[in-house]
Chains A and B, each alone.
Chain A
Amino acid sequence: MKVWIPTPLRSYTRSAEVDADGATLAELLADLDRRYPGMRFRMIDEQDCLRRHMRIFINGEEVRELDAALAPNAEVHIVQALSGG
């Protein structure tokens, strides 16, 4: 499926849009980390929670739970929230 990458994470992907696979958000993030090592920990903390200023949208719906299911043709947007100056 297609995953849109915000600018803070493009030092990993070198691209605004990448392909990755997974039946759940957790699997998708694991696949992204395999392809782009280190990327997951910058988004997800050691307790498996989305970091404070990161957001993930699946087909336009915000999702915070990593066990959220993903359809094979889902569109995933990773978004940077506001984080101040």
Chain B
Amino acid sequence: MKRRNRTTRKRARAVAGTVRKRRGVRQHGITLLIGTRKGAWIYRSDSSRRQWRVDGPHFLGHIANHLVLDPRDRRTLLLAARTGHLGPTVFRSTDLGKTWKEASHPPAFPKVAEGEKGRVVDHVFWLTPGHPSQPGVWYAGTSPQGLFRSENHGDSWEPVPGLNDHPQYRLWMGGEQDGTPDGPKLHSIIVDPRDPAHLYLGMSSGGVHESLNAGRDWRTLINGLEVVPGVDASNVAAHDPHCVRLCPNNPDRLYQQNHCGIYRIDRPSNEWTRIGKSMPTTVGDIGFPLVLHPRDPDTLWVFPMDGTDVWPRTSPGGKPAAYVTRNGGKTWKRLDFGLPHAQAWLTVKRQAMAGDQHDPVGLYFGTTSGDVWASRDEGAKWHCIARHLPHIYAVEVADLTA
């Protein structure tokens, strides 16, 4: 039995590719922030990341689209929520979820004149803390698509007119029918760690956009991205970036999981390169989430989904797996050890996969069927740490240590 276990572990490590040895630094426990269709949960691990304690539900029955820690104070949580009956709002906790207070002015579009048709925020979809030099600043992305900013730790929110009232806005996001089934979403709001005025964001649909002046002006960043056959790639509304991430230790590099493949861009180039073509053809390079290595800009993980036929958005063939590249997308390896081998039709949403800062990196994903899976070794082995949660929308790692 022992020999089999050793062989199994060895095989799993080989499948995962190179996993660096731990550096001997003290590793802290992990906190996972989980948003679901029916509330939010917080899972806390011991330092080995083997034992998990559950804290929740918080806001049972509320639609919790995103729960995010403020990395600048490591105490504040913001939760994007609504219910089936009640309008969208943001809740804030300054004690890691012990107590909560609602935003005094949640994200809302400006009221229009009598007789005009004004936009109404259906739900707050995405939350991004601002730059470390701007404590208290947060950004929110909504459905229908809007960008909002708070300067007081998420208590009150103002629209960012440079985007929301941009003359090309309607051209970017298309008509009322465009966007995801649950409404068009503004997501992947990224603040350049070197420059608080340099922002990126993704619009589903509507492409990737960049601002160099804190959101006053925007330019489109879609060169090299493919669109569905028969559609003009110069039409910004045809572009559907599912998830965009910026490399923590190389802010000139971004990766993107798109409706039409996986891409990389190395700034100052404005051209995306499709790196998903080297994925196995039976799996394809369609999916939603994308997780970057905290220290290695050549390493990222994706969780492919079936984008063929009627777009089931489930694990291809009912065999779930993450895939990792350790060379910027030249080659990919399948990571499915510990995951079900058949008849497992998992769906993982764009916010529902995350990585921690440990070495080796811990990976976590939540499924729409309510399970949370974890790996302590960069995807070499997976184990389920939570079952029977509601439909999972978001999984974030809260780094509570300096």
Contact = CB atoms under 8 A, between A and B. Distances in A.
A73 interface: no
A41 B84 contact: no
Interface residues of B, number: 18
A47 B87 contact: no
Contact of A46 (B84, B85, B102, B110): B110
Contact of A38 (B84, B102, B118): B102
Interface string A42-85: 11111111010110000000000000000000000000110110
Contacts, number: 52
A42 B86 contact: yes
Interface in A9-54: 9, 37-38, 41-49, 51, 53-54
B147 to A, nearest CB: 15
Interface in B210-230: none
B111 A37 contact: no
Interface of A: 6, 8-9, 37-38, 41-49, 51, 53-54, 80-81, 83-84
Nearest to B118: A47
A9 B121 contact: no
A16 to B, nearest CB: 16
Interface string B74-118: 000000000111110100000000000011101011111000001
Contacts of A51: 85-87
Given A42-B86, A47-B111, 4 more contacts: A8-B86, A37-B104, A45-B108, A83-B85
Nearest to B110: A46
A84 B84 contact: yes
Interface in B97-148: 102-104, 106, 108-112, 118, 120-121
A47 B122 CA distance: 12
In the A-B complex, list the 4 residue pairs whose CB atoms are closest, starting with the nearest: A83-B84, A46-B108, A42-B86, A47-B118
SS class, residues of chain A in contact with chain B: loop
B120 A8 contact: no
Contacts of B111: 46-48
Contact of B83 (A8, A44, A45, A46): A8
**A42, A44, A49, A83 pick with most chain B CB within 10 angstroms:** A42
Contacts of A6: 85
Nearest to B59: A11
Contacts of B102: 38
A46 B86 contact: no
Contacts of B120: 45-47, 49
Given A46-B109, A46-B120, A46-B121, A54 B104 contact: no
B85 A41 contact: no
A59 to B, nearest CB: 22
A53 B84 contact: yes
Contacts of A45: 87, 108, 120-121
Contacts of A44: 87
A41 to B, nearest CB: 6
Contacts of A41: 87, 89, 106, 108
B391 to A, nearest CB: 10
A4 B103 CA distance: 24
Contacts of A83: 83-85
A46 B85 CA distance: 16
6 contacts: A8-B85, A38-B89, A38-B102, A41-B106, A42-B89, A53-B85
Nearest to A82: B84
A13 to B, nearest CB: 13
B118 A46 contact: yes
Contacts of A84: 84
Nearest to A51: B87
Contact of A42 (B87, B104, B110, B118): B87
A1 B106 CA distance: 28
Contact of B104 (A8, A38, A80): A38
Nearest to A42: B86
A57 B108 CA distance: 26
Contacts of A54: 85-86
B279 to A, nearest CB: 35
